A and B are shown apart, each in its own frame.
Chain A
Amino acid sequence: MLRFLVRRVAFGALVMLIVSLVVFILFYVASDPASSFCGRTCTPERKTQIKIVLGLNRSYPRQYLSFLNHLLHGDLGTSFVNRISVNSVIKSGLPATASLALGAAVLWLLMGIPIGITAATKPRSVRDRLATLFALVGVSLPSFVVGLMLLNLLFFQLTTHGHPWFPPSGYVGITDNPLQWARHLLLPWFTLAFITAAAYARLTRGSMLEVLGEDYIRTARAKGLRERTVIYKHGLRSALTPVITLLGIDIGTLLGGTVVTEQLFGLQGIGQSALNAVHNNDLPVVLGTVLVAAFFIVLANIVVDLLYAVLDARVRLS
């Protein structure tokens, strides 16, 4: 187990190294950071000066090593636009992004898993077909379409009819006002959850069907256990293993920025700042966000692999 962990972490580190190399090449070799920094009113003198200040006059390998050195010390660089450290940009965006991702995850689990179970316990029935349809519609809906519809119906129509229940945008810290926090996040949560719940319903159905066909389930049935006990106690536990795997990876991906939803609902999260940075040509912020997002994905993969190993062992033992 320990060796497995060490190996996974080593591979994770390798992935991060590759990601850092790729973004370095993208931002420092394939593009011209000095010009971006210089802005529109740039003179050749100023640009040379900037190159010296930013260390861009050194060879690429040396630049990369120094870039890597900063990274290893947890320093993601400084924004070109407002000279704030990228670390603090990310830190200020994390609460909104994390609230959005985790809350949505709870919601989509609550929606997706029951639908999947219902469908699996009676395959080819009407409710299975309905569940399949729900899943297909959900998979087909882009998040911004869902978000726009929610905005139109639940914010705009309600508000113009005198029920301003949902605000259109903004983020309120959970420590400032938990109620407002939830009120502001409800629509974004649903936006994210709806499209993701569909995938979870499909996955739960598929893995549940597979598990219910296995020998030990048939044995449990043959032993005369109640159908509910068979499904919930014996079936669900192992059927949820792939769901948990996907959940870990999805949360990891979302923590790196839920660009579309944040943009749509004006939440100042990591994704929003990255998007703004792209439009402002603020390369360090974009780069820092990509690295942080990749880090979350890699981390989530490691956690999931470990969890999977533990769960799988337990399922096999029981």
Chain B
Amino acid sequence: MSETLVPAQPDTPVTAAAKEGAVVARTPTQLAWRRIKRDKVSLAAAVFILFVILVAIFAPVVCHIIGQSPTSQDRGDHGLTLDGVPVGPSRYHWLGTDEVGRDVLARLIYGSRISLIVGVLATAFELVIGIVVGLLAGYYSGKTDTLLSRFMDVVLSFPFILTALSIVAVTGPSLWVSIVVITFFGWSNIGRIVRGQVLSMREREFVEAARSLGAGDLRIMRKDLLPNLVGPLIVYSTLLIPVNIVSEATLSFLGLGVVPPTATWGNMLAGSADGLYRVAWWYLTFPAMALVLTTLAFNLLGDGLRDALDPRADRVLATK
């Protein structure tokens, strides 16, 4: 009986060393990169985002090329009709004009700057605050964690638009107020994610190993915890940017964001909502498309990145 239990050893010395060498060399990053490269939708989204970014950066150049400016009113026939109604897409104004005869395309191009600045800056600030608070809460647990987590709960108890309303009521609207308000309401999402990840990572042996080597808390957070947060944080930042872009547009739309005559997509849509949508379809359609396509691109990319970075993505496939 015992003989049959002993596995027959092959004659050829398949040594353990040879067996060990057979491990496929793939890092998580490489795997993620391979997955994302196969994901056409994410690639297209990334290309579109890149396009918007370039347009925003080179807005003056692009506007110079198309020969339009975002603020000057076309007082000729191509700007407004004799009744003072905006003119639709034409050879002169490719995407038409707005209620005072400004070029819609030029305003869209400049509006992308505001959207991206607010979207990216607010996300960056949210990341910084969220990472710091989440790391502290997750790493120190106990009282620190209770305090910080409760603090995040309190922040989440403030109604976003209404609090934004009241802050703007006091400070008056501006770009920076928009960024601050959006950051204030967004960082706790990051904080919670980071805290959760750190909580589960804190008990991992590599953290203990670092501690047993004499590494201090700061070093452990920086060198051992942070690198493992990069994946989820990339995904969440990509998904937060469109949320923040929409938040900015909403504030602008309500007249609480960047003040006209500065062109923002939200301001343009607010003009449309004032009744212009009845006479100038282009003034509703194009800003709406710019906004929706940009946010959709970020969401698609974020979704693709999540699949690419999430090791469980394979598991779902495997079970099917």
A contacts B: CB pair < 8 Å:
yes
Cβ contact within 8 Å between A15 and B154: yes
Q: Say whether A136 contacts B296, CB under 8 Å.
A: yes
Contact mask for chain A residues 1-31; partner B; CB cutoff 8 A; 1 contact, 0 none: 0000000000100010011001100110011
Q: Is A139 an interface residue (CB 8 A)?
A: yes
B215-249 to A contact mask, C-beta < 8 Å, 1/0 = 00000000000000000000000000010001001
CB of A27 within 8 A of CB of B158, answer no
Q: Does B180 contact A (CB under 8 A)?
A: no
On whether A278 and B159 interact (CB within 8 A), knowing A15-B154, A140-B296, the answer reads: no
- Asked whether, in the complex, the Cβ of A294 is within 8 Å of the Cβ of B159, the reply is yes
A297 touches B273 (CB 8 A): no
Residues of B within 8 A of A281 (CB): 169
Instruction: Kindly list chain B residues whose C-beta atoms are within 8 Å of the C-beta of A34.
Output: none
Query: Given A259-B254, A275-B254, A290-B162, do A301 and B157 touch, yes or no (CB 8 Å)?
Result: yes
- Total number of B residues with any Cβ neighbor in A under 8 Å: 44
Does A79 touch B at the CB level, under 8 Å?
no
For A11, list chain B residues within 8 Å (CB): 150, 153
Q: Give the segment of A54-62, A66-74, A142-150, A219-227 that binds chain B.
A: A142-150
Contacts of A260 in B (CB 8 A): 161, 250, 253-254
Asked if A93 is at the interface (CB within 8 A of a chain B CB), the reply is no
Inter-chain contact A297/B157, CB cutoff 8 Å: yes
Contact of B166 among A23, A145, A209 (CB under 8 A): A23
Determine if B97 is an interface residue (Cβ-Cβ < 8 Å).
no
Stretch at the interface among B48-56, B84-92, B116-124, B312-320: B312-320
List the count of A-B residue pairs having beta carbons below 8 Å apart: 133
Q: Does A137 contact B (CB under 8 A)?
A: yes
Q: Considering the chains assembled together, what is the distance between the CA atoms of A264 and B274 in angstroms?
A: 9
Residues 144-203 of B at the A interface (beta carbon under 8 Å): 150, 153-154, 156-159, 161-163, 165-170
Q: Is the CB of A278 within 8 A of B166?
A: yes
**A-side contacts of B133, CB under 8 Å:** none
Q: A156 to B319, Cβ gap below 8 A?
A: no
Q: Say if the beta carbon of A172 comes within 8 Å of chain B.
A: no
CA distance A298 to B159 in the complex (A): 10
Q: Which residues of chain A have C-beta atoms less than 8 A from B32's C-beta?
A: none
CB within 8 Å of B: which of A290-318? 290, 293-294, 297-298, 301
A152 to B281, CA, bound (A): 8
| Pick from B159, B165, B291, B300: contact of A253, CB under 8 Å | B159
Residue of B nearest to A23 (CB): B166
Q: A294-B157, A294-B159, A297-B157 are in contact. Are A149 and B288 (CB under 8 A)?
A: yes
A193 interfacial by beta-carbon distance below 8 Å: no
**Distance of B240 from chain A, by nearest CB (Å):** 12
User: Provided the pairs A123-B316, A263-B254 are in contact, do residues A26 and B269 lie with their beta carbons within 8 angstroms?
Assistant: no
Label chain A's interface by main secondary structure.
helix
CB contacts (< 8 Å) of B319 on chain A: these are: 213
Minimum C-beta distance from A212 to chain B (A)? 10
Report how far A31 CA is from B319 CA in the complex, Å: 60
Cα separation A257 to B165 with both chains bound (whole Å): 11
Chain B interface, >50% SS class? helix
- Tell me whether A274 and B165 are in contact (CB under 8 A): yes
Bound form: Cα–Cα A178–B128 in Å? 50
Considering the complex, which residues of chain A in the window 109-131 have a beta carbon less than 8 Å from any beta carbon of chain B? 123-124
Of B169, B249, B303, B317, the most chain A CB neighbours within 10 A belong to B169
- Residue B299 lies at the interface, judged by CB distance under 8 Å to chain A: yes
How far is it, in angstroms, between the C-alpha of A156 and the C-alpha of B284 when the chains are bound? 13
Decide if A26 touches B170 in the complex (CB within 8 Å): yes
B263-286 interface with A by 8 A CB criterion: 269, 272-273, 277-278, 281, 284
Contact among B157, B273, B300 for A298, CB-based, below 8 A: B157
Name the A residues within 8 Å of B303 (CB-CB): 132, 136
* Contact across chains for A290 and B166 when beta carbons are under 8 A apart: yes
A197 at the interface (CB under 8 A from B): no
Contacts of A139 in B (CB 8 A): 242, 295, 299
> Is B44 interfacial (CB-CB < 8 Å)?
no
Q: Which residue of A lies closest to B298 (CB)?
A: A140
Q: Evaluate contact between A279 and B299: CB separation under 8 angstroms.
A: no
Q: Are A278 and B256 in contact (CB under 8 A)?
A: yes
Tell me, yes or no, whether B259 is within 8 Å of chain A by CB: no
A201 at the interface (CB under 8 A from B): no
Q: Assess A26 versus B162: contact at CB under 8 Å? Given A139-B299, A145-B269, A279-B255.
A: no
**B161 to A, closest residue via Cβ:** A259
B284: chain A residues at CB < 8 Å are 148-149, 152
CA distance A286 to B170 in the complex (A): 10
List 16 additional contacts besides A22-B158, A259-B161; criterion CB under 8 Å. A31-B169, A136-B303, A139-B295, A141-B292, A142-B250, A144-B273, A148-B272, A151-B277, A152-B284, A213-B319, A260-B253, A275-B254, A278-B256, A290-B158, A294-B159, A301-B157
Mind listing 28 A-B residue pairs with CB under 8 Å? Answer: A11-B153, A15-B154, A23-B166, A31-B170, A123-B320, A124-B320, A136-B299, A140-B299, A142-B253, A142-B291, A143-B250, A144-B249, A144-B269, A148-B277, A148-B288, A156-B278, A259-B165, A260-B253, A264-B273, A279-B255, A286-B165, A289-B165, A290-B159, A294-B157, A294-B158, A294-B159, A297-B156, A297-B157
Q: Which 9 A-B pairs have the closest CB atoms?
A: A293-B159, A140-B295, A140-B296, A31-B170, A278-B169, A142-B246, A259-B161, A145-B288, A256-B159
* Interface of A toward B, CB cutoff 8 Å: 11, 15, 18-19, 22-23, 26-27, 30-31, 123-124, 132, 136-137, 139-145, 148-149, 151-152, 156, 209, 213, 253, 256-257, 259-260, 263-264, 271, 274-275, 277-279, 281, 283, 286-287, 289-290, 293-294, 297-298, 301
